[in-house]
Amino acid sequence: MKKILVIDDEAPTLEMLQLFLGALDYTVLTAENMSDGLALFEQERPPIVLTDIKMPGKDGFEVVRQIKAVAPATEVIVITGHGDSALARQAFDLAASAFIHKPLDTDALEAALQEAEKKLGL
């Protein structure tokens, strides 16, 4: 099974993504904040990470920065309910793989995951 980490402070989003990604044959790791997410990343080193931008404390951009600093090949997909072109540009400047708006379009998410897997050679 492929491993993926989802970092989001909204429990319903985590639950939906756990079900959806599980159906796509992923082992899904979840965290409700950046600190727990980064700790879980260090322990498990999943090749793909989904992170929300707007979370209490530091934002998802910090997640992208820290993950890319220690594991540049990791594919990080940014998800947000507060997206605009400036935030998308900022995500891509940090080497995020994709930027997806909430509510999540599962087709767009699946396409982003397929592209990430292709880059990773999975």
Q: Is residue 101 domain-resident?
A: yes
d(CA 54, CA 116): 23
pLDDT at 59: 79
Q: Is residue 54 domain-resident?
A: yes
Q: Is residue 122 domain-resident?
A: no
pLDDT at 4: 98
pLDDT at 83: 66
Q: Is residue 34 domain-resident?
A: yes
User: Structure tokens of 52?
Assistant: 């929300």
d(CA 33, CA 10): 9
Give the number of domains in the chain. 1
Q: Which domain holds residue 39?
A: 2-117
User: Structure tokens of 100?
Assistant: 């997806």
Please give the average per-residue pLDDT across 73-99, as a whole number.
85
- Mean of the per-residue pLDDT values for the chain? 91
Q: Is residue 56 domain-resident?
A: yes
Assign 70 a pLDDT band (cuts: 50, 70, 90): very high
Assign 32 a pLDDT band (cuts: 50, 70, 90): very high
* CATH number for the domain that contains residue 89: 3.40.50.2300
pLDDT at 28: 98
Question: Taking a C-beta distance cutoff of 8 angstroms, is the pair 5, 37 a contact?
Answer: yes
Q: Is residue 94 domain-resident?
A: yes
The tens digit of pLDDT for each residue in 93-121 reads 888 899 898 888 999 999 999 999 999 98
Assign 122 a pLDDT band (cuts: 50, 70, 90): confident
User: Structure tokens of 91?
Assistant: 């995500």
Assign 42 a pLDDT band (cuts: 50, 70, 90): very high
